[in-house]
Amino acid sequence: YALDQGGDGKMKKKIKGILSGLLVITLLLVGCGNQEEMQTPEEYIDENLMEISLSDSWTEGTLGNIEDYQVFLSGEAHGIEEDYEAEKRLIEYLHTYEGVRYLICELSVSEGIILEKYIQTGEEELLTGFMDSIRGTQGCNQGHYQFLQWLCQYNLSLPEEERLHMFGLDVEFQQDMTIKALQMLDTKTKPENLPDGALKKAVQAVRDGSSQWYELLQTAAKEEPEETEAYYGENWKWAEQILKNQETTLRFVKEGGDAESQLRDDNMAENFWFVYDQFPEEKFFGQFGSYHTYLEYTASAYGVEQGHQPFGYLLDQEDPSLEGKVCSILLYHVSDTIEWGEVNRHIEGLKDIKLENRTMLLSLNEKGSPFVKEEIWQEEEQELPVCDYIQKIIFLPRMTKSPVYGE
């Protein structure tokens, strides 16, 4: 009987082994059956390239796979009419279908404060004052002015609890706007009632528009920190952020003021985290100069130094809270031969794309996409998939320079 039991035991073990083996094979076969079939670039583009309108609102699903993202960045060429129209459609779409309510901008912290008040109130003098301040820059054009008017009208048409909010992240380019923002943050009516000291001097300097405002407010913050914070109340965090931003601005100017400097991207990222820490559960959208929106360093016509870390990279990879949650949308100007050659050099799969002079959108991160893992962004320094850099491309057949504001 004992021998029989042993035989039965061995037989049971054999059967168990066979069944286990069959189970493993079955699971492997099922797994293979569920594996996503990878398409060729030609097949994928043929299936996913779609025509879009810049004049009409987009329907749900137009941007494709975006559900896991918290920050959306679109990369523009400054001062181009079609880019302003694309920005309108993106804001509408992301607000309507993704609940994006926080706009981040390639403007100074101070300009953001002023324009935030404009889009909440519709006070036209705030907008015209801003446009007058930026005369001589790429942003001083009719398209920018009309875009901001549209943004204000769109915002005021929304229920108050659904309205958009606006934040500037860049250095303090326009000092008159810096002083204007600080004056707006000072809500007290009688600063002359302050006791003599550093704070009173600083407040008066800001109110007078004195060029010494920075040194005096910095001194007040150091020598009378409690009184200074109490004076500004809830607005102090913004006044303090302007102070920090001004310090970076002075460094930026001292280093030569290169538009594509690493200092600017670093500073925009720091200012973004200041905003993000106040609204960590919210979603954000911003349109910046194209290079700032890449999620990896790339050699480009912008002339950045090797290893330059764009703003998009700093958000996506420098902090785990946003890792993999930043979506980069490239506005790609087909008629710009330099840009066309530049992007085609990096994305080999686009070389045979047929656009037929239409505004088109290609979502690169859909099911079966070869751009997620297989198609490499052609770069000498590193080999990474295209979707490590950008996730969407909007092809713009025309590139219309917007006329100068007020002319």
Residues shown for the chain: 407
Does 3.40.1660 match the CATH number of domain 40-100+283-407?
Answer: yes
Which of the two residues, 18 and 184, has the higher pLDDT score?
A: 184
Q: Which of 54, 143, 123 is nearest to 92 (CA)?
A: 54
Of all residues in the chain, the percent with pLDDT exceeding 70 is: 90
Q: Residue 304 — pLDDT band, cuts 50, 70, 90?
A: confident
- For 220-253, how does the pLDDT look when each residue is reduced to its tens digit (9 = 90+)? 999 999 999 999 999 999 999 999 999 999 999 9
Q: What are 159-208's pLDDT values in tens digits?
A: 999 999 999 999 999 999 999 999 999 998 776 688 999 999 999 999 99
pLDDT at 22: 53
405 closest CA partner among 6, 58, 86, 133 = 133
Pull the structure tokens for residue 71.
């920050």
CA dihedral 111, 117, 121, 127 (to 10 degrees): -10
Place of tokens 């079955």: 26
Alpha helices in 41-140 (DSSP H): 41-48, 81-98, 109-121, 124-133
Residue 348: pLDDT above 50? yes
- Average of pLDDT values for 208-228? 97
pTM strictly above 0.85? yes
The phi and psi torsions of 167 (rounded to 5 degrees) equal -135, 130
Cα 395 from Cα 333, distance rounded (Å) = 6
DSSP string, 181-222: HHHHH---S-GGGSPSSHHHHHHHHHHHT-TTHHHHHHHHHH
pLDDT (mean) for 353-379: 94
Instruction: Place 32 in a pLDDT band, splitting at 50, 70 and 90.
Output: very low
- 142-156, 284-298, 350-364: which range is least confident on average? 350-364
Mean pLDDT of 140-160: 98
Task: Tally Cβ neighbours within 10 Å of residue 329.
Answer: 24
Answer for the pair 174, 133: CB distance below 8 angstroms, yes or no.
Answer: yes
